[in-house]
Structures are given as structure tokens and as C-alpha cells.
Structure 1
Amino acid sequence: MSTDTTVGTAPGRLGDPSLTIGTDPRADPRMVAVFAALGIDGHADGAPLGPDAPREQLLGFVEAVEVGFEGLFAALAQDAPPVDGVSEELVTITGDGGHEIRLHVHRPDGVDGPVPCIYQVHGGGMVMLAAEGPLYTHWRRRLAAAGNVVVGVEYRNGGGVLGAHPFPSGLDDCVAGLRWVHAHLAELGGSHVVVTGDSGGANLSLALALRAKRDGWADEIAGVYAQSPYILGSWAEVPAELASLRENDRYWLNVSLFPVLGAVYDPDGAHAADPTCWPYAAGVADVEGLPPHVIAVNELDPLRDEGLAYHRLLLRAGVSSVGRTNAGLCHVGEILFPTALPDVYAAAVRDVAGFARSLS
């Protein structure tokens, strides 16, 4: 076994700063082909402003970024195969502030008896994107076709079209939707509720469990499946354990984007120490007694190591947690490529659905 510890043996940009997601030998070549066709296989652009910029400028930046991401996600979902055997309904409930919260409900056709209910929280750094986007709609349909009732929550974002509503507005909406779902499980045809989300949605999924424990209703959540969680909250001094923020910087996502999104969600970092805002701040006492978790991360994601750190925290606290690392994939790559990486996508569906069934 080699004992060479020179910089050149380090992975990704730690060993070779010139590497891109398109040239890193670890990258799935099918993913690279998609990125190359879209012209985004090079280094991701940095944010043109910092987190200390005036709030109007920050919100304007998020609006522009949202347009780009929605366009990309629509393109990735464009050729996804249709999903048959799923019926859909839009339910509108009222949030604590009197505003509307839309819940996208998907049910498998011809399935008798209660089935797991998957409560899905979309990504977007808690500040952009929407549950009704084509990529997230397809993801929920596939989960429903696997034999689950699936409910996607349209919460108030910190910015973008559905903003500007900083923390805790979005989390409050997710709480309201989840508690409505649990109270109406019988009419929805559900047996128990499993929460899942990706990126910013994974932040909110983890935060829902923390909030539920804090407020005394954790028994309403049977489990949490978090994909590529965005949970750090402060980037002034990046902890040494989060090497992926350096190793995979500019691989589809530029790390300079994270503190900007964070400033929109949590202005002035006022809640940096609150685990329900930034779950990375949680300690053992915060997570003890939580329901089972799965923390899924991706090899080429800048956020990889914060997800792994949270998984290890859960284990230290005696919480059942399974950690999964998907080789060769970018941030949330398991749900981005339903056509180009159908086997990877199908495996992600099976894993989330299987986790939900295991908790019945």
C-alpha cells in the first residue's frame, strides 16, 4: 500500500486545482456528458457579491440565480419518461399568518390499505425554487409510483419568486404542512410520515425533526431521509472536517454562493447558533431521541462532508442513522438525471421508498 501523502495524491481540487467536474476522473461520465452539452462542465462561476451586500442586491441576485436553476432543472426533466398509475391533487391549507400553503399530493392508483406517506421538501438553499417545478414533480411521481402517498410542500422561500421571507417563515410553513398531513393521514391513505428533502430541503427536513423534538411532537415523524444537506450556516472559518468545501469547490456549485444564500435566509447570521435554522449547529442533546435517519451525500459535492458530520453526530447521540455516499455524483446528482442516469435515479427511488416501508 502506498504511503505517499503529497498534495498530488489528494482528491479533486485539493490535489489539482485545475480539475473541473468535467475532468475529474471520479466523475460519472454520463453526468459529465450532460454538463458538457449544457456548457457547465468547467469551473462554476463565483457569486458577484458577498453576504454583506445590501439586502436589495442580495434578493436581486437570488432572483436571477433562481431563473437559471429553474431553467436547468426543467431541461434535465424534459425527457424524463412519463409516470403512469399516479393520481394528483392540490390541497391548500392556511398557515399561522393567514397565508396559503399549497400541498401537492400524489397517490398510487389501485393500492389498497394504508401506505407510507413521504413528505417531500424541495431544495434551493431555502431561498428559491418551487415544489411545482418539473424536476421535483417527476421525483414525487416516481416515489408515489413506488407505492407511497407523497406530499410536496410549497413553502415560503427566503427570496426569489416566493420570497422574501427569511427564517423561520419557510420552516413554519413546513411544520404547518407536516402537522396537517399527520392529522389527515387516514383520508390521505397513509400509515406514517417520513420526511425527505434535498439540499436546502434537506436542511428543512432535518430542522423539522429538531423543531418537532423541541416542541414536543417528534412522534409524528417516523423517519428522515436527507439528501446532500446544506446545513453549515457560517463560512468565515470553515471547520477542518469539511474538506469537501475545498476539494469540490466549483464543481457545478461555487462555494462562494453558500454564504450569499445564507445571508438571504438568515440575515446578519442572527440564527447561526440555532439548529432549526442551521442543523450543523446541533449538539448531542439536540438530536437525542430523534427518529431514524438516512443521510445521503455525493462524492463530488462541496456539501458532502457537512452531511457526513451530521450523520456522525446522530450516531454519537444513539440515533439510528445510515450514511450513504454516492460515487461520482455532483450535488443532489441522484435526482438530477432521470434520463441520463436512469439506474442511479431508480436506486434513489428504491432507497427512499424502502426506508419509508421499513418504518411501518
Structure 2
Amino acid sequence: MRPRSPAGPPTPSSPPSPTRSPLPESEEPPMPRTHPPLDPQLAAVLAVVHDHLSPTITADDIEELRANPMFAVPDEVLTRHGTVHLQNLSVPGPPGAPDISLLVLKPVGSTAGAPVFYYMHGGGMIIGDHRTGVAGVLDWAVDTGAVVVSVNYRLAPEHPDPAPVEDCYAGLLWIHEHAAEIGGDPERIVVAGASAGGGLAAGVTLLARDRGGPPLLGQVLMCPMLDDRFLTPSSRELEGEGVWDATSNATGWNALLGERRGGDQVSIYAAPARATDLAGLPSAFVDVGSVETFRDEDIDYAARLLQAGVQCELHVWPGGFHGFDGMAPLAALSQTASATRTAWVRRLLTTS
């Protein structure tokens, strides 16, 4: 979302600057732009959000968004005033690439051999860092005594595909090999991610299967960004509405894939919705709001996981916009969504 001017009415979005237009007419079949109504509590929050941030992002907005201090997460939030130990590590990246940074968060008093939540942050592949959104996953760690590791993968467009997903996979390899050094159990790693990070978590899970990589206990895909093709109604029905609209989605995918976006040269690890074989993947939790761009691709991915014999729990939160639980944590729907994820994680760790 693009920051709005602090005074006066919102200014119109600037025209997209990618060489490929976000939604070419030749690709866009006639499709009604309808969607379910917003949850009333969330609608009130979204109106306030839109006073400060636009739902539409173009390539021209990336630099300003990255510099916006409202997205910074201070140490005090992550250390929970001394109840969580924070450690920054630099570990080897993919072959021939720079080292990557990992943020390790461990509740004080946690025991050796704890489960590990490996987190990939959101931001449409273009913004954010390893502190973005990790507080929600830290709640699970505090609840279960687990360790959280968050990866600072390289961002597009400066580092297009496959840099982000390969960085994330390199982080997984390091965690598995060095789990004991951070107090973790290499056999109890759960990958998790939100939005772009959810797509990366799904891509890392596919990579681990296909490369014979580390065994994974589960995958938590929160409103994941999975498909670059804009095939579904929800991928097109939000324009200038909600959070992360159709133009924003095109901006993110164009940054990651360039001219390959929508074509036949895109790998399943960059866009996991393209995977036709989902067998052999770990148990999954998938959730998404009913009023967001990723709704239909996420429902389809969860259904195909089930059809492939993978245990999967799917939730479509009625009236939820993209990232609603982070922006409106006190709303009733946000509380329900958060509690439901936590309950799934507890069951996973208890029964495995």
C-alpha cells in the first residue's frame, strides 16, 4: 500500500511503470468486479487505513514504501520486554550468492530440542524484512516453547526470481544442519509465511520435497501469494479497494518475474499454484480473507493439497481483507483467526 499525503484528499494512483501493463486487455475476459461485503468492524478499520495508505501500489512507490518508518519493528516488540531472546545471524546464502541474515527469537526458559518455526515475511516480494509480521508467529513460540527463525531474503525487482525463494531455501538448509545451535529440533521444523512469504513458504516446501531436502513437519500459509497468472475472479475483482489490489499484485509479480510473468517459463517454486503434483508435502494450514486478491487461488491450492492426499485445514474468513488480523488485531474476526492458527499449531506439535 502506498502512503497517502498527510493532508488533503488521497491523490490518484500514478500510472504503472513496468514495461508490461498490469492487466492487459487481451488477458482480461469480461468479469464482474463483485466481492463479499467487509466485516463491519474491519470496514471501519480499513477506512482509517485508507486515510494513510493507498490500496494500490505501482513500481514508482516501492522506494518510498521501503523507507516508511511505520513499517519498522523495534527490538522491544520482538523481545517482549526481556521475555524473548533475540539473535541476529549471518549464514551462507545460495551458491554464488551473498550471505543471508536470520533473526532468531527464542522465549527465555525454552528447552533444547524445541520445535522451530521458520518464517518468511510478506510484502509482495518488493518490501519488508525479517522483522515484518514476525510478531504473530512469535505468539506461537511463546505459547509452545518453540524457536522462531525469520529470514531476510533479497527483494525484487533488484533481485528477481529465483533469488527470494533460493535465499529462503538456503536458510532452511542452515536451520536443519545447525538446529542444535539455536536450541531447535531439526526433525520438527514448520515453515510459515504471510502473503508473499506464504508463497515463498509453499515454494520452499516444494523445493525441500523435490531436492530431497530437510523433512518438514508442517506448513502454515497465511493469505499466500501463489499465482502470477491472474486467472481467478478474486485476482481481478479488487481495484482501488481493500488491501493489495489487482494493480498492486501485478506490480509485485512483474518485479519478481519481469516479462516471464504469466508465461510458460515460470517455475512452480516461484508460483506454487502452477504445481500440478502436490503429493508428498507436509500437513498444511491455509487461510485467507473473503475480500482479497488471493482468495480463489488459495482455496484452489488447499483443495488440491487435499486431493493429493495431504492433510490440510482451510479457512476463508468472512469479510476479511488482506492482512486484516495484523491491522486490526482486536477485531473479533482477527481474534478468531489468530486463535484458530494457534490451535492448529498446538495440534500439529502435540500429535507429531
Q: Same fold (TM over 0.5)?
A: yes
**CA–CA distance in structure 2, aligned partners of residues 47 and 184 of structure 1:** 39
- Residue 274 of structure 2 is matched in structure 1 by 281
By how many angstroms is 1:227 displaced?
0.7
- Residue 314 of structure 1 is matched in structure 2 by 305
Q: 1:227 aligns with which of 210, 222, 227?
A: 222
- Residue 197 of structure 1 is matched in structure 2 by 193
Aligned length, in residue pairs: 312
- Residue 354 of structure 1 is matched in structure 2 by 346
By how many angstroms is 1:30 displaced?
3.1
The answer to whether the 8 Å contact 1:225/1:352 transfers is: no
Partner of 2:168: helix, strand, or coil? helix
Q: 1:179 aligns with which of 161, 169, 173?
A: 173
Q: 1:165 aligns with which of 137, 159, 162?
A: 159
Q: Cα distance 1:80–1:173, how it changes in 2: closer, same or farther (>3 A)?
A: closer
Partner of 2:320: helix, strand, or coil? coil
What are the equivalent positions in structure 2 for 1:89-238 lying under 5 Å apart?
89-95=87-93, 96-133=95-132, 136-146=133-143, 147-159=145-157, 164-191=158-185, 192-217=188-213, 219-235=214-230, 238=231
**CA–CA distance in structure 1, aligned partners of residues 100 and 55 of structure 2:** 34
By how many angstroms is 1:125 displaced?
1.5
The answer to whether the 8 Å contact 1:338/1:345 transfers is: no
The answer to whether the 8 Å contact 1:120/1:195 transfers is: yes
The answer to whether the 8 Å contact 1:90/1:103 transfers is: yes
Q: Partner letter of residue 38 of structure 1?
A: V
By how many angstroms is 1:82 displaced?
4.6
By how many angstroms is 1:27 displaced?
2.4
What are the equivalent positions in structure 2 for 1:23-34 lying under 5 Å apart?
26-34=37-45
Q: Cα distance 1:41–1:307, how it changes in 2: closer, same or farther (>3 A)?
A: farther
**CA–CA distance in structure 1, aligned partners of residues 130 and 191 of structure 2:** 15
Q: Cα distance 1:137–1:276, how it changes in 2: closer, same or farther (>3 A)?
A: closer
Q: Partner letter of residue 91 of structure 1?
A: L
Partner of 2:106: helix, strand, or coil? strand
The answer to whether the 8 Å contact 2:237/2:246 transfers is: no
The answer to whether the 8 Å contact 2:110/2:146 transfers is: no
> Structure 2: where are the runs of 5+ without partners?
1-31
Q: Deviations over 1:195-238 (max 9, x none)?
A: 00011001100000111122112x52111110111111123xx2
**CA–CA distance in structure 2, aligned partners of residues 63 and 259 of structure 1:** 17
The answer to whether the 8 Å contact 1:107/1:144 transfers is: yes
Partner of 1:158: helix, strand, or coil? coil
- Residue 85 of structure 1 is matched in structure 2 by 83
Q: Deviations over 1:32-81 (max 9, x none)?
A: 33333334499x55456xxxxxxxxx4x443234446x63x459x99999
**CA–CA distance in structure 1, aligned partners of residues 34 and 313 of structure 2:** 27
The answer to whether the 8 Å contact 1:209/1:290 transfers is: yes
> Structure 1: where are the runs of 5+ without partners?
1-11, 16-23, 49-57
Q: Cα distance 1:40–1:306, how it changes in 2: closer, same or farther (>3 A)?
A: farther
Q: Cα distance 1:98–1:210, how it changes in 2: closer, same or farther (>3 A)?
A: closer
By how many angstroms is 1:94 displaced?
2.1
**CA–CA distance in structure 2, aligned partners of residues 245 and 350 of structure 1:** 28
Q: Deviations over 1:225-261 (max 9, x none)?
A: 10111111123xx2xxx23234444222221221221
The answer to whether the 8 Å contact 2:42/2:320 transfers is: yes
By how many angstroms is 1:332 displaced?
2.3
